[in-house]
Structure formats: structure tokens, C-alpha cells
Amino acid sequence: MSSILTNSSAFAAAAAAAAAVTIVSKSTVCPDRDSSLGDLPLSVSDLPMLSCHYIQKGLFFPSPPMPIASLVSLLSSSLSRALSLFPALAGRLSTPPDGRILVSCNDAGVEFAYATADSLTLPDLLAPSSDVPPAVKSLFPLDGAISFHGHFRPLASFQLTELADGAVFLGAAVNHAVVDGTSFWNFFNAWAELCRGGSPSPPDFRRNYFGDSKAVLRFPGGRGPEVTFPVDAPLRERIFRFSQEAIFDLKSRANDGFVKVATIGDPDAEIYGKQVHDPKAVMAYKEEQISSFQSLCAHVWRSVTRARKQLPPEAMTTFRMAVNCRHRVEPQVAPNYFGNAIQSIPTTAAVREVVGRDLRWAAGLLHRNVASHGNETIRRGVAVWEAAPRCFPLGNPDGAGLTMGSSHRFPMYEGNDFGWGLPAAVRSGRANKFDGKMSAFPEREGGRSVELEVCLAPETMEALLRDDEFMSYVAE
């Protein structure tokens, strides 16, 4: 287990990491065809993200079987074609006098950089059982950019970094007021498919999420927002892997020991030990059941709250989950809807109860909250926002919060073969990270384990790593 870096040595490490990466070339890539999309107004789900950093996610690949110059040219020509399918990413934000904020699809282009890192190798950067090395952060472009800056900066920027062992990292920064995680990976998948010779279908650009809202989010004086959390607070970041078996075990505990409902039509489907032949009964039971992911979230909520030893028992703690609203609203929004269609679901309870009661209790709270977040709840949330438009208050001001972003269901591996195999790993940049921020990633092999990237205050991470109950579910 690695030792804890002191603050100043962490900064020194970050500075050394940045120095390890050299930008060799940088170009502007434009769509290979003119766009006819015009202006796309930001929606009620896009506007609150203007104070968030650009999304920074990227993929490590083993050494590609071609000279690096050919790779750079292949990636930028396929990027140009991908931008013709997704012209919104090649535009800029603009604010006409009426105060609405639009994506102007003006084909201004995105950035594509090629960099080298002669002192970094894939095994160093993916070392197991240690913190994520600070060097990973230097593999991303547009560090610190806030989505509002899309008025004058590209809405997307990419960096291909060649490591000393020939492995590469393809890092992306994409404006969070223009995409959510679903749209981000939809674009990445389309780029990969074009690169390997396929012809992906275009996304749905009807930004009709809740029709034509009249709400306007104003930024007086043209000054943009600041991020809503301290960006230089000390943080440790680690990736914890939970195997399918460990997650099943948590789910079983959360559901009071019984989770054997396989698939509808399965002759062995059982509910509480009884054979069931009615598919409706099986479906109803499955919906009632606390899911694997909710069970895992409850485990993390309890463990991190226990590790935050400074919290008094009567303090309140909140677990926030970002959810995709596309399939939750009625009528449904298309899966390839391009833009944000997300909301945050907060679940709040006293520290004493989260820590003192069992997993089943915390998991039940999360489950009931997520299960009830349907059409009505989503529209109520939108109405509340429209009555008082504001930026999304991302962060953890009371030190007792946890926020789960990203999703283990996103196609980060499957779908991202650029022509020479699946990515070796997915990693993220410094963007939108604070004490208590977590991101879920799927398993590379397409199984059901989940990787959680967890950012915590150093003393909390230290306590979590010493917590036997938490660690007993973590795969090495």
C-alpha cells in the first residue's frame, strides 16, 4: 500500500507529472462536410452544467500496430468525419441579446494534439493497489476549463499521448453543457466505429427535452460562473474493483438474503422460495428488489461515512446519484438524444443511522428514492429549476456528502475498438473532483464487476483503506 503524500509532495508530484508530457503537435480539426444544423438552444438540463468543468475521460490502449504518424493522421481524419455526424461538438456557445445560450454549429472545429511522455509506461500508470498517479491528469487537454468557456474555447479537445512503452492514451475533454456521459460515449463510440471502417448512425439533435422551456439562466456582465467547489483541496484518488460475486453478496444482504430471481420465462424463477410462473409477478418482484448497484452504493455510503471520523452522529449525510432521464420521462427521450438528460437524486439521512443501521436500511432508502424518480418527479424538478434557474451546485460543502457520477453501464470498452482491440483501461482527469466524488466504470471483460473511482480527503481515504468491512468486498 502506498504511503500518503503530504500536500507539498503531492503538488511536486503533479508538477513533475506535467513536465513528463510534451505536446509535439496540435491542430484544429473541422467536420469534413458543412453543417446545416444552425443553432441549438441549451436545454433545462444543459444550462445548470455551465459551471461544471468539461468532462475529461480517456482510454489507454496497448501499442497500436502502425507508425505513430499514421495513427495521428488516421485519428484526425476519422475525427473529422465523426464531427460531421456530431456538428454540435465543432461549434461554439453563443449568447444572443435575449440571454438564451445556444450551441452555434459554425464548424469552428475542435483541437487535436499529439504528445509524448518518454518517462511514463502503461504498467506505471495502471499500478494496482495504489492511488491513481498524478501523471494521469497530465494526459488530458483543457484542464480547468469550465463549460461556460465554450463561448471562446473549442467545445471538445483531444490529446493522443504516446508513452515510453508504445502504449497510447486518448484523452478527451468535452463541454458538459453540450453532452452528458451518455452522449459523450455515444460520440466516442461513433469515432471508434468510423476509425475501424464502420458507418455509425447520427444522434438525435432534437433538443426537445421538456419542449421549449422559456427559462433563461443569466450571467450578468458576461462574466461566467466559477466552479462550485474548491479545486485545490488535497484529494486522494483510487480505483476499487468489486467482483460480480462481491456485488451479489452485497445485493443479497440488502435484500434480506434472497435474490434468486433470474429471468422471466426461466422455469426456475423463484420468489421467496416459491416457484413462480407468472411473468408479471416476476417483473414486479424485480422492480421491488434493491439492485446490485444500489446495494454497492449503500455499502460505500456506510463505509465512507464511517471513515469520516470528524462527523458528529447527529450530522446529516447526503448520497447523490446522477441518473439518466432518457428512459424515465414519458414520453421517453431517445437513447441517442444528444445533450444532457440527467438529474441528481439526493438521499439524506443522519450519520448515526447510516453508520448504525444495517446495509439493508441504507440500500432501501437509496432504492426507494431512485425507484420513485419517474416522469412526475423529473418534471417537478424541472419546474422548480425553471422558477429559479441556477448552476448545478456540484460539490460537498458540509464534508458529509457523496456524489456518484458516470455509470457502469456506459460502453467505455465495448464500442471503443478503434481498429486494434479494446482499450486496456479508462481513466478520468481532474475535472469535477472533490472530497466524496465517485465515478462508476464497467468491467473491461464485459462481466458484471464494477470499478469505482473514489476521490476522498486524504485522512478519509486512509481510514477507508483500514476499514476491514469495506476492504473485504474489494477485489485486489
Q: Which of 151, 286, 326, 379 binds ligand NAG (CB under 6 A)?
A: 379
Within positions 316 to 375, which residues make up the interface with ligand NAG, using CB under 6 A?
A: 330, 375
Query: For the purposes of burial, counting CB atoms within 10 Å of the CB of 376, is it exposed (0-12), middle (13-18) or buried (19 or more)?
Result: exposed
Q: Judged by CB, which is closer to ligand NAG: 305, or 324?
A: 324
Closer by beta carbon to ligand NAG, 245 or else 287: 287
Shortest spacing between CB 211 and ligand NAG, in angstroms: 11
Least CB distance from residue 379 to ligand NAG, whole Å?
A: 4
Alpha carbon of residue 212 to chain centroid: 27
Minimum CB–partner distance for residue 378 and ligand NAG (Å): 8
Residue nearest to ligand NAG (CB): 330
Residue placing its CB nearer to ligand NAG in the complex, 120 or 325: 325
The DSSP H or E segment spanning 402 is strand 402-406
What is the dihedral sign for C-alpha 60, 154, 434, 356? negative
How far lies 46's CA from each of 17, 51, 411, in Å? 33, 11, 22
- Tell me how far, at minimum, the Cβ of 383 lies from ligand NAG, in Å: 9
Nearest to 412 by CA among 170, 244, 131: 170
What's the half-sphere exposure (Cβ side, CA atoms, 13 Å) at 97? 0
Sequence-distant (6+) residues with CB within 8 A of 433 are 235, 237, 455
Interaction mask 280-309, ligand NAG, x per CB under 6 A:
------------------------------
Q: Which helix (H) or strand (E) holds 348?
A: strand 342-350
- DSSP state, residue 87: G
Count of residues interacting with ligand NAG (CB under 6 A): 4
Choose, by CB under 6 A, the member of 118, 165, 287, 376 that binds ligand NAG.
376
Amino acid at 314: E
CB of 147 to ligand NAG, least distance (A): 28
Residue 287 or 469 having the CB closest to ligand NAG? 287
Which triple of cell numbers denotes residue 367?
A: 432504492
Identify the three-state secondary structure at position 18: helix
Whole-number minimum distance, CB 380 to ligand NAG, in Å?
A: 7
**Are 366 and 318 a contacting pair, CB within 8 Å?**
no
Contact positions vs ligand NAG (CB under 6 A) = 330, 375-376, 379
